Amino acid sequence: MSKAQLTAFFAKVDLDPALKLQVEAAADPTAVVAIAQAAGFHFSAASLSRHLRG
């Protein structure tokens, strides 16, 4: 489920310039997770880090 949530979140980020700015300004993965949770997505900072590493 985390992978699906991550994929959906980044798809939304690509389509939403304001959200993209928030993510780009985030200090660390924990901040990105907080932004995602506020937008209705649920995944952990560890899942995000794994996703970003590929």
- Nearest alpha-carbon partner for 49 in 26, 25, 32: 32
Query: What pLDDT score does 1 carry?
Result: 65
pTM, two decimal places: 0.91
Query: What pLDDT score does 30 carry?
Result: 95
Query: What pLDDT score does 23 carry?
Result: 97
Question: Per residue in 2-54, pLDDT tens?
Answer: 899 999 999 999 999 999 999 999 999 999 999 999 999 999 999 999 988 87
> 41 with 9: CB under 8 angstroms?
yes
Residue with token string 């937008």: 39
Query: What pLDDT score does 11 carry?
Result: 97
Query: 10 Å Cβ neighbour count for 39?
Result: 15
DSSP 20: H
